[in-house]
């Protein structure tokens, strides 16, 4: 299998269906040989059925109890080994050429992890790489809220990228033992990237295409990241490079 796409999802069947349809278009542009889409039904009240997600062709893995994002991702990756994995949120609608660009970056820049530019519905940046500030701010999304049209399209090599749309080599994912499941919600992607850098794994973010991210559609609790944020700082404070503060 050349690429296994892991989509953890909880409810929101109509949104998931739209995500999968856009994913099909993007996969078709890659001209990869064998690919598979694994939807991890993370304890939805009404289980997903294959017919609900048609015409997309997916493998559904059902978790009867809701697990953390990291646990759901790891379970999906175990379902089918592949040369690379793509982790994708159900509220991300990929640009048709987003995966083509990510695969080109793997080929041309010898990276082990690659993210992609994500925009909000108003065409402002949601994610184009993760930077690190000193103090309590810690990791933050570069250029968040800025108009995508004025942000450079050059490929970047940040310290971390979001797992809302993250491609990673099988060898790198195995070396890292996947996402750390002690993170209850959030920061597991940043933790994975920082651990990858410790192993000399290079990280990139494609910037040519804008994919839509509706952001936190499944969980809008204002304190949803609190426990994971505390764990992240306990583990990583003082151990990452300070990029600087963009707030001014």
Tens digits of residue pLDDT in 62-81: 999 999 999 999 999 999 89
Lowest mean pLDDT among 35-39, 115-119, 134-138: 134-138
Q: How far apart are CA 222 and CA 204, in angstroms?
A: 29
Average pLDDT over residues 206-215: 96
Q: What pLDDT, on the 0 to 100 scale, is given for residue 135?
A: 83
- pTM to 2 decimals? 0.94
Query: For residue 55, is pLDDT > 80?
Result: no
pLDDT band at 248 (very low <50, low <70, confident <90, very high): very low
Q: What pLDDT, on the 0 to 100 scale, is given for residue 54?
A: 77
Tens digits of residue pLDDT in 103-124: 999 999 999 999 999 999 999 9
Choice between 241 and 55, residue whose per-residue pLDDT is larger = 241
Two tokens at 4?
């296994």
Q: What percent of the chain clears pLDDT 70, i.e. is strictly above it? A: 94
What value does the mean pLDDT of the chain take? 93
Domain 3-236, CATH number (from 3.90.550.10, 3.40.50.300, 3.10.129.10, 3.40.50.10470): 3.90.550.10
Domain ranges in the chain? 3-236
Q: How far apart are CA 74 and CA 233, in angstroms?
A: 23
Handedness of CA 12, 14, 40, 21 (dihedral sign): negative
177 CB burial (10 A radius; 0-12, 13-18, 19+) = exposed
Q: How far apart are CA 53 and CA 203, in angstroms?
A: 32
Q: Mention every residue, 6+ apart, whose C-beta is less than 8 A from residue 204.
A: 105, 109, 111, 113, 114, 115, 155, 156, 157, 158, 161
Query: For residue 11, is pLDDT > 50?
Result: yes
pLDDT band at 226 (very low <50, low <70, confident <90, very high): confident
- The answer to whether 170 and 2 have CB atoms below 8 angstroms apart is no
Cα separation values, 14 from 50, 98, 101, 124, 143, Å? 13, 22, 27, 24, 30
Average pLDDT over residues 135-154: 94
Average pLDDT over residues 169-182: 97
Q: What pLDDT, on the 0 to 100 scale, is given for residue 220?
A: 56
């Amino acid at each position: 299998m050349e690429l296994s796409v892991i989509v953890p999802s909880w409810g929101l069947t109509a949104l998931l269906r739209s995500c999968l349809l856009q994913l099909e278009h993007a996969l078709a542009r890659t001209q990869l040989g064998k690919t598979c889409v694994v939807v991890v039904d993370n304890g939805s009240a009404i289980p997903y059925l294959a017919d609900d997600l048609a015409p997309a062709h997916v493998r559904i893995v059902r978790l009867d109890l809701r697990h953390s994002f990291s646990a759901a991702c790891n379970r999906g990756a175990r379902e089918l080994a592949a040369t690379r994995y793509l982790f994708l949120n159900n509220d991300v609608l990929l640009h048709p050429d987003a995966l083509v660009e990510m695969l080109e970056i793997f080929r041309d820049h010898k990276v082990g992890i690659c993210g992609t530019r994500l925009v909000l519905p108003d065409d402002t940046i949601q994610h184009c790489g993760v930077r690190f500030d000193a103090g309590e701010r810690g990791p933050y999304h570069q250029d968040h809220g800025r108009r995508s049209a004025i942000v450079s399209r050059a490929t970047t090599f940040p310290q971390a990228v979001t797992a809302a749309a993250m491609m990673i080599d099988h060898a790198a994912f195995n070396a890292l033992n996947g996402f750390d499941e002690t993170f209850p919600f959030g920061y597991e992607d940043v933790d994975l990237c920082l651990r990858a850098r410790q192993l000399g794994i290079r990280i990139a973010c494609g910037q040519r295409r804008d994919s839509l991210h509706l952001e936190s559609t499944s969980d809008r609790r204002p304190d949803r990241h609190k426990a994971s944020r505390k764990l992240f700082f306990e583990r990583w404070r003082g151990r990452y490079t300070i990029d600087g503060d963009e707030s001014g």
